Structure 1
Amino acid sequence: MKVFSRRALCAGSMIGALALAGSGLAAAHVTVSAPGATQGGYEVLTFRVPTESDTAGTTGLTVTLPGLRSARTEPMPGWHSAVTKDPESALATSVTWTADPGVEVGPGQFGEFRVSAGPLPDSATVVFPAVQTYSDGSVVEWDQQRAADGTEPEHPAPSLTLEPASAESSHAHGGQSATADTEADDAGPGDDSVARWLGGAGLVLGALALALALGNIVRRRS
């Protein structure tokens, strides 16, 4: 019984190790994540960048954007960021992070680069081709598309699946203020006059009630 338990434990350990190794290989790509991202929405995009080199560190990253109205990077100690915009449309087309001298994502490490951007395209999937630069001058382009049979290429482009925009999300930016403005516009001059008349009548009735109360007090004392 003990021999069987030991063998089962060893087999389980080997399977676990192989699973971790497989997940490590799958994760050794530049990826993008934004849980719950929707079409046409504004999201915080997180680009996870692993350093695959054993001798050099990551010192730069450039991500291509699909022409977005807004793109704001998160401050990172030791890194500078720059957003490139199309001169005609003023839409953000790429963002670049560059490390200061002596700063890098070393071998065996990964870095996360975030940008708040939108509105995202009205498509099921959006692709963000990326270029990773190493301290030794080498460059890796993450821009390959997945094959039709689902086979993953050597350097796949980071991609993000977008959920369809719901009625609530479509009104999330400015919807409430627009409703409030509409209700304010619907309140015409006639409604305002009635409200003022009712308010004045209430003041008159209140004054009469106060006068009657004072008269009763004076009569009781006399």
Structure 2
Amino acid sequence: MSTARTALRRAGVVTALAAAGVLTAAGVASAHVTVHPDSYAKGATDGVLTFRVPNEEDTASTTKVQVFLPTDHPVLGVLVSPPQNGWTAKVTNTKLKTPVKTDDGTITDAVSEITWTGGKIGAGQYQDFNVAFGQLPENTDQLTFKTLQTYSDGKTVRWIEEAQSGEDEPENPAPVLKLTAKGAEEGSTPAASAKASNISGSSGGSAGSASASADSSDSTARGLGVAGLGVGVLGLAAAAFALVRNRANRAE
């Protein structure tokens, strides 16, 4: 695939993702900043990462989000979505200590930080921030994206703690993307597209089987929620019908 065609393809993905906005989320009070999907194949190309940021404060809004990308194992060809819901992104590049050789040449610098400002995430809401990439690294098993979340009252939550093997999850864990062996990801592109579509209305990348499983779980939960709502509505309708019939019997 030529460089021009790759750039156009990823630009199209980012444009499609611009429709993602602030969504109301039930039970996000105890949620963490996360990255979706949670796994990709090593060396995956032309994909999308979605950073989901919930507002955990009842009396303040999230007004700034900073995501730090690793530079020891850089993510190449990063693109951000156009301004949406008031949010604009500032991208910071850093000179790499070890240049990366690719089919299109040697890369000497990469994105090290993305800062979103200008928008607002209110209480009981979350925001999806979409980032397209050209290529993920092949020489590591995971990527950690340390994140800072700033609120309107000046409070900053540092999502930077890394989980240790055999220990409980830290209080403020950093979003982690697992990178799996290429063979384990073969044939997973349709699941990846479905995952990205569910999150932000567009497909992107080759997500792993773990993300497909998570998507299935999310879909099941949503289905159960809708079913529960339907049962509730039917119950109210039945109660109303019984009340009307009882009054009619009394009138007779």
- Change over 3 Å in CA distance of 1:139–1:112 after alignment to 2: same
Give the corresponding residue for 1:45.
49
The reply on whether 1:109 has 2:164 as its aligned counterpart is: no
For structure 2, the residue ranges without an aligned partner over 5 or more in a row are 1-25, 97-107, 187-252
Structure number with the higher strand fraction is 2
8 Å contact from structure 1 (residues 71, 83) kept in 2: no
- Distance, in Å, in 1 between the alignment partners of 2:172 and 2:160 is 7
Mapped partners of 2:169, 2:78: distance in 1: 29
Q: 1:72 aligns with which of 79, 84, 88?
A: 79
1:40–1:118 CA contact under 8 A, matched in 2: no
**Shift in alpha-carbon separation, 1:60–1:50, aligned structure 2, 3 A:** same
1:62 aligns with 2:79: no
- The residue identity in structure 1 corresponding to 2:81 is E
Match of 2:176 in 1: 159
More helix by share: 1
Is 1:140 matched up with 2:143? no
Structure 1 distance, partners of 2:55, 2:28, is 12
Question: Deviation of residue 93 (structure 1)?
Answer: 0.9
Distance change >3 Å, CA 147–CA 68, structure 1 → 2 = closer
Cα distance in 2 for partners of 1:104, 1:25 equals 16
Once the two structures are superposed, what CA deviation does each residue of 1:3-59 show, in whole Å capped at 9, x if it has no partner? Answer: xxxxxxxxxxxxxxxxxx9x7566x10000126621111320000000001111111
Q: What is the TM-score when the length of structure 2 is the normalising length?
A: 0.52
Q: 1:91 aligns with which of 85, 104, 110?
A: 110
Would the alpha carbon gap of residues 126 and 54 (structure 1) be closer, same or farther in structure 2, given more than 3 Å must change?
Answer: same
Cα RMSD (Å) of the superposition? 2.5
Q: Is the CA contact (8 Å cut-off) linking 2:29 and 2:56 kept in structure 1?
A: no
Cα distance in 2 for partners of 1:35, 1:148 equals 17
Tell me whether 1:30 sits opposite 2:33 in the alignment: yes
Deviations 1:123-172 (A, max 9, x none): 22211110111111111110001133230111000001122124997xxx
* Count of aligned pairs: 145
Query: Could you say which structure has the greater relative contact order, defined with CA pairs below 8 angstroms and 6 or more residues apart?
Result: 2
**% identical equivalent positions:** 40
Equivalent in the alignment of 1:149: 166
Aligned 8 A contact 1:73 1:114 in 2: yes
Give the Cα–Cα distance (whole angstroms) in 2 for the partners of residues 142 and 167 of structure 1.
29
2:68 corresponds to which letter in structure 1? T
Q: Which runs of 4+ in 1 moved over 3 A?
A: 23-26, 166-169
The CA distance in 2 between the partners of 1:161 and 1:36, in whole Å, is 4
